[in-house]
Amino acid sequence: MTKKIINGKLYNTETATFIGGWCNNYPTNDFKYCDESLFRKRTGEYFISGEGGPLSKYSKSYGNNSWGYGYEITPLSEEEAKQWAEDRMSANEYIAIFGEVAE
């Protein structure tokens, strides 16, 4: 899934600008696998495109206590995007995206 409409707004990974990515380095067939990408829309809005296995935060219920691989697009405020980048990207990558910060 590369597109999702949330609150009447389209989020599309094919037309948005990729900002950065993070993966927990588990193999893709591991139940704990998790991969996230930060994007910025042409309108300046940020969102995360994430996917993961049955034991990740992206897991999907298939009923009868059965869980599987899932995918989700989540809108973020600029502050949430900055926090995501601060937690998952290098200082140089962060500065390249959001500019210099106070020492």
Backbone angles phi, psi at 86, to 5 degrees: -60, -40
9-46 tens-digit pLDDT: 999 999 999 999 999 999 999 999 999 999 999 999 99
Residue 13 structure tokens = 């990974």
Phi, psi of 36 (to 5 degrees): -130, 145
- The pTM score is 0.88
Pick from 23, 21, 22, 15: nearest CA to 40: 15
Give residue 47's domain range.
Answer: 3-97
3-state secondary structure of 81: helix
In a domain, 8, yes or no: yes
- Span 86-96, pLDDT tens digits: 999 999 999 99
Alpha-carbon Rg for the chain in angstroms: 15
Q: What's the domain count of the chain?
A: 1
Has residue 102 been placed in a domain?
no
Q: Where residue 101 falls among pLDDT bands split at 50, 70, 90?
A: confident
d(CA 49, CA 52): 11
In a domain, 74, yes or no: yes
